[in-house]
């Protein structure tokens, strides 16, 4: 029998959300999904099939007495998904991790490259293509490639406050997670009314940066595992859902090379600092969180 989600990490991509989910899932009273993201509220096709079906996909192994925690880093950018989430559980706790927008945008570009979502081999050219992509086929189509849009946090955080209420939205900066992760976890344990004495192991970064071995191979892997494609449908008939997910992660890992991504062009970084500055100031006024260092790093 399904039960509603109690807490959901709704953004931002490449801000430490995978690590936070892994830290929280260590608590014996918490159960999470094995998938990278729980896209139910964002995906129209899945949403139309109902939460009971999604429960079997994401949480079928969870016991009835567990606190249910989920993550989808694109949810906060979609008002449609946020309102579906609100309807799902009016008392749900939202968690948002925010990273320096310049670093986040650049990291997201390289992540899209290694996952096969981005075929433009220049960050600067991908930035130039973003407006046309979003205007021609919408954010829904190009949300993995919206490097600028997804780094403008103010309107999306404001939307979360208005829909869920400020007290139900917990915001943390990525650098806080690096330096004070145990405190953040214990604060969320307290919010969920579960044992705060439990201390998770937080020394591991679960989604470090990496480079793609082959852009072409990345696109082939992503295509093969895309919902509705013949290859994925065949795999699904042969393997249970959890095994399909594990296989996809394993194959994607084969296309990754550990290492530092190339440094950003200084002139690009300078332009981005100025581009995001007014949005950062608005975010600071809205949340009361000092993000002035984002304008200078």
What does each of the 297 residues of the chain score in pLDDT, given as a tens digit?
Answer: 789 999 999 999 999 999 999 999 999 999 999 899 999 999 999 999 999 999 999 999 898 899 999 999 999 999 999 999 999 999 999 999 999 999 999 999 999 998 889 999 999 999 999 999 999 988 989 999 999 999 999 999 999 999 999 999 999 999 999 999 999 999 999 999 999 999 999 987 766 666 666 666 666 666 565 555 555 556 556 566 655 555 656 666 666 666 778 999 999 999 999 999 999 999 999 999 999 999 986
Helix (H, G, I), strand (E, B) or coil at 241: helix
Question: CA 103, CA 106: separation in Å to the nearest integer?
Answer: 5
Cα three-residue angle 236-143-274, rounded to 5 degrees? 150
Give per-residue pLDDT as tens, 87-141.
999 999 999 999 999 999 999 999 999 888 999 999 999 999 999 999 998 898 9
Q: What phi-psi label fits residue 122: left (phi over 0), alpha (psi between -120 and 50 degrees) or beta?
A: beta
Supply the pLDDT for residue 296. Answer: 84
Cα three-residue angle 184-154-40, rounded to 5 degrees? 70
Using an 8 Å Cβ cutoff, are 34 and 246 in contact?
yes
- Looking at the chain, the number of H-run helices and the number of E-run strands are 12, 7
Task: Show Cβ contacts of residue 31 under 8 Å, excluding neighbours closer than 6 positions.
Answer: 25, 59, 61, 62, 63, 66, 67, 68, 69
Q: Where are the domains of the chain?
A: 7-208+276-295
Domain 7-208+276-295 CATH superfamily: P-loop containing nucleotide triphosphate hydrolases (3.40.50.300)
Question: Among all chains, which residue has been given the structure tokens 């390289």?
Answer: 110
Question: CA 56, CA 88: separation in Å to the nearest integer?
Answer: 16
């Amino acid at each position: 029998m399904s039960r509603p989600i109690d807490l959901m990490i709704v953004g931002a991509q490449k801000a430490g959300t995978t690590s936070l989910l892994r830290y929280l899932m260590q608590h014996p009273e918490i159960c999470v999904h094995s998938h990278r993201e729980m896209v139910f509220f964002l995906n129209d096709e899945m949403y139309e099939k109902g939460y009971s079906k999604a429960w079997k996909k994401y949480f079928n192994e969870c016991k009835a007495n567990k606190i249910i925690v989920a993550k989808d880093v694109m949810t906060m950018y979609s008002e449609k998904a946020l309102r579906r989430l609100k309807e799902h559980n009016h008392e749900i706790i939202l968690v948002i991790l925010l990273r320096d927008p310049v670093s986040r945008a650049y990291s997201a570009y390289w992540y899209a490259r290694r996952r096969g979502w981005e075929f433009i081999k220049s960050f600067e050219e991908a930035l130039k293509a973003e407006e046309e992509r979003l205007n021609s086929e919408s954010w829904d189509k190009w949300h993995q490639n919206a490097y600028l849009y997804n780094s403008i946090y103010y309107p999306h955080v404001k939307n979360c406050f208005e829909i869920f209420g400020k007290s139900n939205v917990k915001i943390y900066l990525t650098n806080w997670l690096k330096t004070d992760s145990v405190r953040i976890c214990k604060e969320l344990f307290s919010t969920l009314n579960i044992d705060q004495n439990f201390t998770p192991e937080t020394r591991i970064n679960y989604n470090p940066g990496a480079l793609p071995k082959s852009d072409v191979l990345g696109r082939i892997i992503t295509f093969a595992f895309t919902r509705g494609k013949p290859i994925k449908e065949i795999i699904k008939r042969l393997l249970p859902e959890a095994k399909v997910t594990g296989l996809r992660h394993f194959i994607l890992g084969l296309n990754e090379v550990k290492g530092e991504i190339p440094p950003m062009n200084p002139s690009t970084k300078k332009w981005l600092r100025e581009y995001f500055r007014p949005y950062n100031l608005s975010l600071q006024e809205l949340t009361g969180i000092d993000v002035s260092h984002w304008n200078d790093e």
